[in-house]
Amino acid sequence: MNAIEAVGLGKRYYRRGGQRATTLLETLTGFGRARREEFWCLREANFAIPAGRTVGVIGPNGSGKSSLLGLAAGTITPTEGHVRTQGRISSLLELGAGFHPELSGRENVYLNAALLGIPREDVKKKFDQIVDFADLREFIDMPVKHYSSGMYVRLGFSIAVEVDPDILLIDEVLAVGDIAFQLKCLDRIRQFQRRGKTILFVSHALQTVEEFCHEAFLIHGGRLVERGEPSEVILKYIRRYMGEGGGLFTQEFGTRAVEFGNVRLLNAAGEETGIFETGGALTIEIPYVAHRRIEKPVFGFSLKTGNGMYIYGSNTQIQQVAVPPLEGAGVVRLDFAPLRLMHGNYFLSLSIHSWDHAEQFHRREDWWPFGVRNTGEDLGLFKLDARWHCP
């Protein structure tokens, strides 16, 4: 059974354009009259989400992610196509949505639940749980116009999850809450998953999408351009917008006395790929060209998670690897075997600099994205050699 099903789903808006009249004649003749221009925030979206699945929606800002959730929630009317849902829906789509600023937190609990179609008697039974989960007991009778953004999120999420929906829709608003509440929310999402609930959420936290979702949607320019296993979709997103030298966040600098050629990432079979296995091998083949003789060069690397967290870095100087003087073209290789990284997406940076660090010859930051797959059930960022000794 599908919990959410969309067929040819689209939403069109109009924005005004045109040139303002500057003379009486132009005014009388209608010159520059504002004209309406079509803007499709979502177009021809077709998908089905089975009950019990968690789907993450990713993509750049303005791509149509929030519009997709609004259409699924019924808060936006489609221009074309349709979306059908099966079961009670609860949503948290916009900071403060469904709240009246002049009313207290207590009054807004009932108002927000009513907008979700929850009977007042049911809310009464859940009221204490809602307030306790939000940790707002001492502020519950204060007008919400005095709430911080974090307090808004805590109360909104608490209402959304405590009314026990069949389908939970969440936009990026969780990023506003503090780390303790975010962890509490993620734990509640895990509980929902164990109970077979359907979850559709928008997030820029790619590691969260990868960890929690059965499937990922990539939205670009109002189109559903990719869908599938989260790791695969996320890697395509990273490569399209963030990596491979043309991304939004890559950096390149240096004197270019020595510069990189076409760096390749190879698996154990010597094949160039973007996907590697935990416990397998990853070889980084680094061609270079030295435009003058370089004595005692230093090659370095660093790794970050898909969320940009720096996790490890080293160089030939730290590891006491003697690198001969560089002249002309050559190749160095960096081997990770066995590869200790766990399931996830990562960014590789490379650098070449002088022994005294006075000259950066060439550095490419976050230039090469790649993915790692772990077929085991262990979790984390690194696979450690942990050994049990039991009597």
CA 235: distance to chain centroid? 11
Domain boundary among 206, 241, 276: 241
Cα dist from 383 to 283, 339, 360, 386, whole Å: 18, 8, 33, 9
Question: DSSP class of residue 104?
Answer: B
The more confident residue out of 245 and 74 is 74
Predicted local confidence at residue 378, as pLDDT: 77
Read off the CATH number of the domain in which 29 is found: 3.40.50.300
Instruction: Verify that 276 and 194 share a domain, yes or no.
Output: no
Residue 389 lies in a domain: no
- Going by the DSSP 8-state scheme, the letter that residue 210 receives in this structure is H
Closest by Cα among 345, 341, 308 to 232: 345
Tell me what percent of the residues of the chain surpass a pLDDT of 90: 47
Q: Pick the last residue of a domain from 214, 241, 268.
A: 241
Mean pLDDT, residues 67-79 taken together:
91
Q: Please report which confidence band the pLDDT of residue 28 belongs to, taking 50, 70 and 90 as the band edges.
A: low
Same domain, 163 and 54: yes
352-366 mean pLDDT: 94
pLDDT at 265 over 60: yes
- 282 and 137, same structural domain? no
pLDDT at 247 over 80: no
Residue 246, Cα to own-chain centre: how many angstroms? 19
Tell me the mean pLDDT in the region 263-290. 93
Query: Does the model's pTM come out above 0.85?
Result: no
d(CA 374, CA 279): 8
> Does residue 257 sit in the same domain as residue 207?
no
Better-scored residue on pLDDT, 362 or 172: 362
Tell me which residue range forms the domain holding 320.
251-373
The residue-averaged pLDDT of 327-354 equals: 92
End residue of a domain, out of 241, 262, 285: 241
Beta strands in the chain (DSSP E): 2-17, 35-50, 54-58, 80-85, 89-92, 167-170, 198-202, 215-220, 223-228, 251-253, 258-260, 264-266, 275-277, 282-294, 298-305, 310-315, 326-336, 344-353, 360-373
Mean pLDDT confidence for 281-296:
95
Domain count, the chain: 2
The stretch 154-160 carries a mean pLDDT of: 86
Q: Please say if the pLDDT value at position 242 is more than 80.
A: no
**Is residue 384 included in any domain, yes or no?**
no
pLDDT digit string, tens, across residues 108-118: 899 888 877 78
